[in-house]
């Protein structure tokens, strides 16, 4: 893109902001918002207090002005001195107007004493728009955030502006507003109530009963709703931490950390965070879904950005927040990220298991590529951003919700509210890659907004992205975020774009930083119980375009995959539509789309006298914590997806059961098949075949007091000398353990022969690994006929490694024939298996043994153990796997 074209676009972005801002000041100020079609102010809906879609945001404190101050400060660094001066003047006069209305934090203003207003507002929205907007404007005012050419000089206790003296009024007002939110934190769960009255606190939550919120955001019950969400409770960290550091009042940072931690500690075993959660009980609202969009989005965003904001401070918790992000991202990548479609996307999944539930994406989730970019996940960011670009190309906006399977938009979700997330991600990706493709994406978005949303008094949002119907509302974030990110995207050398400091944009687009003077404040760390694989804290520099190309994105071989998923009119459609054709390679080719093969197993009706209609029997499926138990295969349909796994250095094809009877399963869920369910199923059917696992077995140990059973995985020996596992060691009776005589030898059995009495009276011998080969250990055991010792179990432990890690077991190798102590070939070979010799395993064998031995005086001595109560017992459970046409089904197990 040429410099002249970039300059022209930047001027358009600046004019876009002023068209909305000037009309707001002329037709709506000091009200909260502007109605751009009727040119009237938009205020709270006092006639209908349950209209939370309006009343949650509009607190009657001129929210559009508060949200716009940081944009004005950013425009004040314009390369054109005339435009920069105009923006700086607008910023300073806007600050003076707020102080005139609401006071300076000490004295009252014309409208109120601070924010002493009878307005019930949402804690989340008031924090990100009100508190965040005031803090960011204060940081610009005192020079902690840069404005080109603005060098504030303090005279005594203030900074001289034309006709105004700035002495921290915005900071005091931010403290006043945030203090009025603190009553919402009076819960036993550390999760704040979702709403608070700026004057009266939370009297409406006393003895509140849980209500329901409809799709149209209208309350269905006059009783107060105590439901908040992960984003609403966890997205306070940046604003409250900055406020605490600037004022020295640590209450805000501490409460925000507790709320964030309260959400994170309630994550599922799959590592996923849900959406709706009750502030009073701390329970997730069912049915609990997870994803990256509405209700969850800014929780993920603030995990990483809190790491950045607090980096370099002592006692700050910065690394803890990084680890939260890394764990959350890993869980999302595994359970929410869908790669088996035409192009990857993030769907809606089950909170507990990660199983796919819905296939729609929402416009709020368009922020995620930007967050991935900040975290250094550039490839994933570019891949996911392509779909949003293709969708915008199709609709000239982003619908609030869009279904990937059929391209359907539900009637209640056809609108675009002027949201900034898509442009925000485009801005971050351009800063990281410098690929001009993203500039053309920004140009497309701006031209579509100007074409479809312009009114004579501002910018209307769209009620229907297909018909272009306008709605008479211009939310404050349109000026506070959407216009801001457009301008920053098209302004190459803006001070914020080249700033080398831990500055972050809040989820409302307000730049925040903890100044050097305030970075010495000591705070507590609230986030605990995190594990992580530490990564580098810097991202690689943007790579150069490919040879003879301009844009790396336009030359991706999967470029048109997103166009196919978005159902653009043709697979040759250029997107964004503003992109010049020469950006594409002349002989470029598209790689095959990644559609994972799917197979379905359909079982017959095993009970012809019943269920002739094809229904499955009652009780055929049983839900358990980590999966599903199948008690009957009659009329059952099992869906499987083909995956690639690694076995050593080789890649193998496997199946994973992804659904049973139209119930989707998570990637980590297991399917347990009751052995009785195989009755009536042909054992020779290649489509569904049970196969004995010749390597892995499970050792079942029952302690002497009979209090518990231990299941220990072990692996059988292989090689010329490997013996077949005796059938007597396994039992056909469920729960029965056939053997009760285990001898635990605290030695490697390398130097001394085993006493004949042990070989005669015991069934199982347990020895340590090391000192000699496995065959040499077996050669120390006397042969006393087929009724003697039946199995040797080797504990993989040595003195050099007393606590080995939980690693994958390897087959013990018996390279020759088994011999007796006198060198003869053993007539009755002994089965041998090896298991991991952790402390827990050794203790389990010790509790299950009736004899213990050790080396004393150059021989093995026997020390019988006392057995009280129920006798110890031992058994072996053989493992089986299932396969379909020779391909193993990895998550199906036999009970």
Binding residues for Ca(2+): 507
Place of tokens 């297909």: 466
For residue 351, the tally of other CB atoms under 10 A from its CB is 24
Class of residue 497 by CB neighbours under 10 A (exposed 0-12, middle 13-18, buried 19+): middle
Cα(854)–Cα(747) distance, integer angstroms: 6
Cα(56)–Cα(50) distance, integer angstroms: 9
For residue 597, the tally of other CB atoms under 10 A from its CB is 12
> Pairing state of beta strands 289-290 and 276-278?
unpaired
Cα(67)–Cα(87) distance, integer angstroms: 15
Judge if the upstream peptide bond of residue 576 is cis by omega within 30 degrees of 0: yes
* Alpha helical stretches, state H, 291-355: 297-309, 318-335
346 token code pair: 């993030």
147, 83 Cβ separation under 8 angstroms: no
Taking the mean position of all CA atoms in its chain, how far away is CA 571?
A: 32
Class of residue 131 by CB neighbours under 10 A (exposed 0-12, middle 13-18, buried 19+): buried
The dihedral formed by the CA atoms of 637, 643, 646 and 650, expressed in degrees to the nearest 10: 110
Class of residue 251 by CB neighbours under 10 A (exposed 0-12, middle 13-18, buried 19+): middle
Class of residue 243 by CB neighbours under 10 A (exposed 0-12, middle 13-18, buried 19+): buried
The count of C-alpha atoms lying within 13 angstroms of the C-alpha of 184, restricted to the half-sphere facing its C-beta, is 33
Binding site listing: 507
Cα(458)–Cα(274) distance, integer angstroms: 37
Task: For residue 194, give the nearest of 146, 126, 139, 245 by alpha carbon.
Answer: 126
Rg (CA), the chain: 34
341 token code pair: 């479609």
Cα(445)–Cα(567) distance, integer angstroms: 19
515 token code pair: 């100044």
437, 386 Cβ separation under 8 angstroms: no
Tell me the C-alpha to C-alpha distance, in Å, between residue 107 and each of 101, 111, 115, 197: 11, 12, 12, 21
472, 36 Cβ separation under 8 angstroms: yes
Cα(593)–Cα(340) distance, integer angstroms: 9
Q: Which residues are catalytic?
A: 125, 297, 400, 421
DSSP per-residue codes, 554-610: GG-TTHHHHHHHTT-S-TT--SSTTS-GGGS-TT--PPPP----EEEEE---S-TTS
Cα(462)–Cα(452) distance, integer angstroms: 8
Place of tokens 């358009």: 12
């Amino acid at each position: 893109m040429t410099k002249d074209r970039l300059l022209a676009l930047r001027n358009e972005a600046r004019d876009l902001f002023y068209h909305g801002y000037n009309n707001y000041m002329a037709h709506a100020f000091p009200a909260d918002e502007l109605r751009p079609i009727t040119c009237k102010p938009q205020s709270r809906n006092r006639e209908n207090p349950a209209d939370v879609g309006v009343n949650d945001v509009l607190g009657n404190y001129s929210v559009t002005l508060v949200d716009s101050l940081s944009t004005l400060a950013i425009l004040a660094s314009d390369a054109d001195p005339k435009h920069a001066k105009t923006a700086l003047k607008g910023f300073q006069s806007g600050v003076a107007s707020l102080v005139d209305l609401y006071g300076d934090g000490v004295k009252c203003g014309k409208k109120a004493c601070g924010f002493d207003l009878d307005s019930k507002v949402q804690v989340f929205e008031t924090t990100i728009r009100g508190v965040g907007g005031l803090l960011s404007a204060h940081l610009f005012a005192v020079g902690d955030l840069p404005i080109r050419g603005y060098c504030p000089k303090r005279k005594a206790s203030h900074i001289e502006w034309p006709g105004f003296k700035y002495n921290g009024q915005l900071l005091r007002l931010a403290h006043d507003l945030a203090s009025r939110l603190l009553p919402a934190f009076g819960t036993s769960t550390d999760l704040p109530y979702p709403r608070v009255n700026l004057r009266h606190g939370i009297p409406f939550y006393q003895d509140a009963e849980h209500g329901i919120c409809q799709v149209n955001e209208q309350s269905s019950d006059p009783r107060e709703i105590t439901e908040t969400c992960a984003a609403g409770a966890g997205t306070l960290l940046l604003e409250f931490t900055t406020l605490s550091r600037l004022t020295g009042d640590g209450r805000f940072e501490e409460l925000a950390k507790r709320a964030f931690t309260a959400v994170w500690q309630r994550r599922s075993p799959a590592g996923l965070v849900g959406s709706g959660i009750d502030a009073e009980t701390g329970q997730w609202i069912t049915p609990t879904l997870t994803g990256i969009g509405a209700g969850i989005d800014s929780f993920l965003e603030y995990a990483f950005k809190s790491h950045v904001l607090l980096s370099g401070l002592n006692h700050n918790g910065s690394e803890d927040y990084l680890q939260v992000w890394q764990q959350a991202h890993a869980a999302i990548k595994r359970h929410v990220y869908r790669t088996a479609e035409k192009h990857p996307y993030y769907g809606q999944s089950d909170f507990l298991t990660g199983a796919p539930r819905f296939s729609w994406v929402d416009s709020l989730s368009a922020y995620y590529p930007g967050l991935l970019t900040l975290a250094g996940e550039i490839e994933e960011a570019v891949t996911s951003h392509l779909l949003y670009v293709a969708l915008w190309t199709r609709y000239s906006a982003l619908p609030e919700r869009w279904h990937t399977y059929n391209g359907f938009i539900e009637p209640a979700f056809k609108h675009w509210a002027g949201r900034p997330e898509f442009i925000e991600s485009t801005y971050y990706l351009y800063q990281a890659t410098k690929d001009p493709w993203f500039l053309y994406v920004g140009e497309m978005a701006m031209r579509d907004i100007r074409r479809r949303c312009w009114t004579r008094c501002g910018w209307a949002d769209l009620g229907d992205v297909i018909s272009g119907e306008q709605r008479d509302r211009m939310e404050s974030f349109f000026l506070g975020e959407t216009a801001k990110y457009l301008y920053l995207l098209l302004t190459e050398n803006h001070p914020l774009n080249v700033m080398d400091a831990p500055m972050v944009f809040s989820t409302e687009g307000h730049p925040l930083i903890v100044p050097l003077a305030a970075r010495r404040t000591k705070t507590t760390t609230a986030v605990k119980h995190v594990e992580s694989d530490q990564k580098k804290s810097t991202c690689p520099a943007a790579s150069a375009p490919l040879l003879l190309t301009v844009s790396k994105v336009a030359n991706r071989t999967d470029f048109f995959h997103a166009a196919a998923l978005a159902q653009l009119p043709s697979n040759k459609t250029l997107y964004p539509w503003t992109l010049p054709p020469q950006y594409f390679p002349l002989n470029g080719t598209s790689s095959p789309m990644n559609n994972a093969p799917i197979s379905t197993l359909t079982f017959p009706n095993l009970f012809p006298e019943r269920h002739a209609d094809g229904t499955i029997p009652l009780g055929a499926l049983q839900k358990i914590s980590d999966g599903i138990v199948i008690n009957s295969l009659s009329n059952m349909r099992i869906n499987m997806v083909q995956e690639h796994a690694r076995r050593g250095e080789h890649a193998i094809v496997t199946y994973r059961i992804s659904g049973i009877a139209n119930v989707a399963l998570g990637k980590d869920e297991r399917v347990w098949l009751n052995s009785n369910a195989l009755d009536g199923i042909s054992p020779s059917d290649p489509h569904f075949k049970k196969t004995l696992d010749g390597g892995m077995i499970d050792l079942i140990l029952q302690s002497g007091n009979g209090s518990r059973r231990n299941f220990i995985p072990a692996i059988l020996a292989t090689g010329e000398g490997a013996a077949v596992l005796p059938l007597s060691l396994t039992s056909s009776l469920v729960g029965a353990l056939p053997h009760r005589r285990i001898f635990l030898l605290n030695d490697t059995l390398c130097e001394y022969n085993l006493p004949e009495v042990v070989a005669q009276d015991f069934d199982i011998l347990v020895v340590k690994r090391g000192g000699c080969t496995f065959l040499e250990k077996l050669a120390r055991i006397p042969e006393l006929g087929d009724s003697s010792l039946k199995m040797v179990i080797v504990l993989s432990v040595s003195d050099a490694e007393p606590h080995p890690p939980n690693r994958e077991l390897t087959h013990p190798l018996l390279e020759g024939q088994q011999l007796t102590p006198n060198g003869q070939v053993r007539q009755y070979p002994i089965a041998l298996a090896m298991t991991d010799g952790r402390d827990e395993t050794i203790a389990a064998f010790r509790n299950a043994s009736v004899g213990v031995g050790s080396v004393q005086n150059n021989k093995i001595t026997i020390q019988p153990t006392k057995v009280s109560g129920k006798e110890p017992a031992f058994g072996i459970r053989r493992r089986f796997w299932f396969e379909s046409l020779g391909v193993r089904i990895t998550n199906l197990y036999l009970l």
